Amino acid sequence: MSIIYLEQVNSTNTYIKENKLNNGDIVYTFNQTNGRGRLGRTWYGENALALSLLHIPKETSNLPVVSIIFGTAVCVSLKEITSLDLKIKWPNDIVIDGKKLCGVLVEAVTDNDGVCLICGVGINISNKDFPEDIKDKATSLKLLGIDNINIEQLIKAISVKFNKFLENGYKVPESFNDLCITLKKEILVINNGKQIKGIAKAINEQGGLIVKTTDKNLITVTSGEVSVRGILGYI
Ligand code: BTN
C-alpha cells in the first residue's frame, strides 16, 4: 500500500482514475482545485484534506455497501483521534452538532481488468468560515477546536479500519447503526426535485435506507439517486 501526497490536483478521485495504482493505495492533497461531490455537485475543498483510496474488489456482489463501509472507517478513525462526538448522516456525511465535517464520494470504474472503486473523502480541516450558501451547514476541525491533527496517523487509521471492516465481507459495519443519526428520524427524501416525507426505519444489507412514508408505504432509497434531509433542515 502506497501513500501518495500531491501538492495540487484537480480531484484525487480523478487522479486515481487516470493513473495505474494498486489496491489500497491512497492519494491525498490539501489543494484540490475541482473536487466533485455526490449527485453531480461540486465539492468546496478549500482548507480541506482531499483523500482517495483505491479498492479493487475480489468479488462483485454488494459493492454499493462499500460507500457505507468507507464512510464508517473515516468516521471511526476521526472519532478515535479527535474524541469528537461525530455521527453519520445517511449515507455517509460525517456530521457534528447539525453541521457537516466530511463528505464521501465512492465511484466505480469498469475497464478491461474489471471493476474498481475509488473511495474519496473531503475533510474540512482549517476553515475559519465557509461560503454563504454552506456556512450554516458546514464545519471544520479548526472550528471544533482541533488544531493539530496528525494527518499521517489519520490516513493510516482510515486504511486500517477500512480493511478491518472488509474482513467481514461487503456488509454494513455494526458500528454504522450506532453512528447513523438518520435512523428513526422524520426525513425528506429528495429525488429529482420531488420530495417524499417519511420515517427512516432501517438500513438494508446493501446500505439502502428503508423509509416508511407518511402514506404508510415502505420504500428503499439508494445513495446514488437521492438526497435525504431532516424535516427541519440539513440533519
Ligand atoms: C459529498 O458530500 O457530496 C461528497 C464530497 C466528496 C469530496 C471528496 S474530496 C476527495 C475526493 N475527490 C473528489 O473530487 N471528491 C472526493
What is the position in ligand 1's atom list of the atom closest to the CA of 12?
Answer: 12
Tens of pLDDT, residues 178-207: 999 999 999 999 988 888 999 999 999 999
Rounded CA-CA distance 100/117 in Å is 24
State yes or no: pLDDT of 153 exceeds 90. yes
The tens digit of pLDDT for each residue in 106-123 reads 999 998 889 999 999 999
**C-alpha span between 203 and 225 (Å, rounded):** 16
13 CB near ligand 1 (under 6 Å): yes
pLDDT at 111: 86
Most ligand 1 atoms within 8 A of CB, residue of 121, 137, 190 to mutate = 121
**CA 11 to the chain's CA centroid:** 15
Centre of ligand 1 to C-alpha 59, Å, is 25
Q: How remote is the CA of residue 214 from the centroid of ligand 1, in Å? A: 32
State how far the Cα of 37 lies from the Cα of 100, in Å rounded to an integer.
13
